[in-house]
Amino acid sequence: MFVLPFLLLSFSWLASALMYKAADISSLALVEKAGIKYTDGGKVTPFETIIHNHGANTVRIRVWTTGDYNLQYGLALAKRVKAAGLTLVVDLHYSDTSLRRYTKDVVTSFSSQGTPIDILQVGNEINGGLLWPVGQISSKGINPVSQLLHSAINGAKAAGSPKILIHLANGWDWSGLNSFFGKVFIQGALTADQVDFIGVSFYPFYDSGATLAALKSSLTNLANTYKKPIVVAETDWPVTCTGAKLTEPSIAVSTSGQQTWVGDIKNVLTALPNGLGQERPNSPLEQYYKLVESGTLRGDDHQERIIGKLQRLHDDLLHYEPHNIAHTPASNSLISRLFTRQLGAAPVTAPTNAPKGLYLYGDVGTGKTMLMDLFYHTLPPHIKRKRRVHFHAFMIDVHKRVHAMKAKLGARGGDPIEPVARDLAQEAYVLCFDEFQVTDIADAMILRQLFEKLMNFGVVCVITSNRHPDELYKNGIQRQNYRRIPRTLSHVYYDPLTPENQAEFEKLFKAFASHDNEPITRNRKLHVWGREVAVPQSTPTVAKFGFLDLCGKPMSAADYIEITKTFGTIFVTDVPKMGLSQKDMAREYHFCSCYESKTKLFISSEVPIFQIFSSDPNAKGEDISDHMRSVMDDLGLSSDIIGASSMFTGDEELFAFARCCSRLVQMGSKEWAETAGVQ
């Protein structure tokens, strides 16, 4: 439940009943600028500290595209909110701009300064639509609104992982709420699973129908029909009132009346079916069983044992309070160096109260990433310092930080790993990262020191890898038999390279590109670490490359990550069958970034996609080694589909081949085609 600042006295009274006890403090800095101060127990205290001390746990900030509540104003206020240990809700008021790009930029801005948005309110009281006249329901209908919300939410998810709230006025009016939500969820646009919360406003003086009884009836219908957690995002009760008729005359117009009013709303919320007025998050085990029950996952005894271990870690984290860690000073001035000394020596052992992390290893396609993500997304709401990242992106970030720290330390030298670990630990004390692998000696040397120092700072890690810890530095590969969920392939791979297929592929590219309503740009430049990466053809969200553009020239993991971060849909043309003479190109044929970023991928190739690495695509498997056959069995693919391949000779190459095939299978599935690709 979100309430306004002057309902402060009600927070502690609500604490045991509601998940979110909030205040909108958007005007706080403006009020303070006018000379207003706040006191608690006679002592001048920051307002956000006062409400936190009295039971509030959440703050909402409105962000306008311009004016008093602009982005910079909101960013400054967010630093105070996070410093006070409060959950951050950002209420975006849209203007005539690109929703996806604008939303992505806003979410990125908050995350970049270390104040990630926890809940994003996409629009404010949007009963009549948003971005008029394009999204004006009275003249354009509901479809444009659905498309606009879909675009905005995709922008948010491309930049972070905030929960999404859709906010309407007149929470007491079931007819109005049902008219909106009954039409706004449309196949191919906004879907119900994109929305985490429904928020409503409830004021007692704008309409005679806004009674508590009407609110209870309306929200009960809302919960039963749409089965989403519900919050009262705005409300008010006056301490003085002239010229307005209140809908609940029995409640006093006073501060005690405010408490009565909020208490009555609390009673409405807590009485909603299935706890939807309180929004208690599922635990990892509960969420796993929910997914199995819905048919999204297939029950697996081994996965259930792993999720049980993740559940125990989740429970341990409920009561874990890591030590506060100060950021390393940004400059190298004398004052900064003095401050650095005041930080004290880094701890040499892990805190005794720190829960032990988990290392999940197994073969490709066994659900490790899914289980880790399930754990991450069900972390207790009070854990704000958390991070989920892929190994490649993590190591790029670490190398950049180490490089910057070495430059900062200058000629006087010093260990760059300790301050980097300190900053990483300050940003996140729960670290989940995927696809852990060590093939570079420089990475190995950094990681050994880095992880030791992170754990000493109290960081808890959950890691997935395809390798047993003892084999991270070896070429050996562990093989176990796991069930795989069959996937139905969608038409995203085109072969052979006939004129008909090439024409169909080009037609498909132009159809996707047309969604951006912008002309196709040739040779768009992406900037990666001071270098330029040319994109042959693109719109803001769709790109097309020839195979040689991606694999026929030197490219780094950072280049691929930047490409998939920029474009939600990627077309790759003219992929050849690769033999020994193109072995280096085969190594460059890199899909991890597309897979990790949930990119929609289309490929045209000389031979069926699973045979591009075959030395003889017509072979029936006679020349396949036992080891390669084991790879095929694990992938659920027959040698008739893959063909014979002798071009990969070592376990490391076989492992890369297996991972690539596994990714291609999943990225060709119907589920992937329907859900991937931020537009």
72, 112 contact by CB (below 8 A)? no
Distances, alpha carbon 546 to alpha carbons 305, 402, 570, 602, 603, in Å: 44, 35, 11, 12, 10
- Rounded Cα distance between 500 and 517, Å, is 26
Going 459 to 463 to 467 to 473, the CA torsion angle's sign is negative
Residue whose C-alpha is closest to residue 666's, from 437, 484, 457: 484
Give me the catalytic one of 101, 125, 312, 479.
125
48, 84 contact by CB (below 8 A)? yes
- Rounded Cα distance between 183 and 193, Å, is 15
Distances, alpha carbon 45 to alpha carbons 48, 80, 245, 255, 287, in Å: 8, 13, 36, 21, 41
Give me the catalytic one of 48, 62, 80, 234.
234
Distance of CA 671 to the CA centre of its chain: 19
Alpha helices (runs of H) in 36-116, residue ranges in sequence order: 47-53, 71-83, 99-112
CB atoms within 10 A of CB 645: 27
Give me the catalytic one of 48, 60, 80, 659.
60
Which residues, 6+ apart, have CB-to-CB distance to 409 below 8 Å? Answer: 332, 416
- Rounded Cα distance between 188 and 469, Å, is 43
468, 478 contact by CB (below 8 A)? yes
Residue whose C-alpha is closest to residue 70's, from 58, 61, 82: 61
Sheet strands (E) in 516-673: 521-528, 531-538, 542-546, 569-575, 600-605
> Is 234 one of the catalytic residues?
yes
Alpha helices (runs of H) in 120-167, residue ranges in sequence order: 137-140, 143-159
- Record the tokens describing residue 185, joined without a space: 């969820």
Distances, alpha carbon 167 to alpha carbons 3, 232, 234, in Å: 14, 9, 9
> Is 588 one of the catalytic residues?
no
- Record the tokens describing residue 249, joined without a space: 């005359």
Which residues, 6+ apart, have CB-to-CB distance to 207 below 8 Å? Answer: 170, 172, 173, 247
- Record the tokens describing residue 482, joined without a space: 């796991």
CB atoms within 10 A of CB 293: 10
Please list the active-site residues: 60, 125, 234
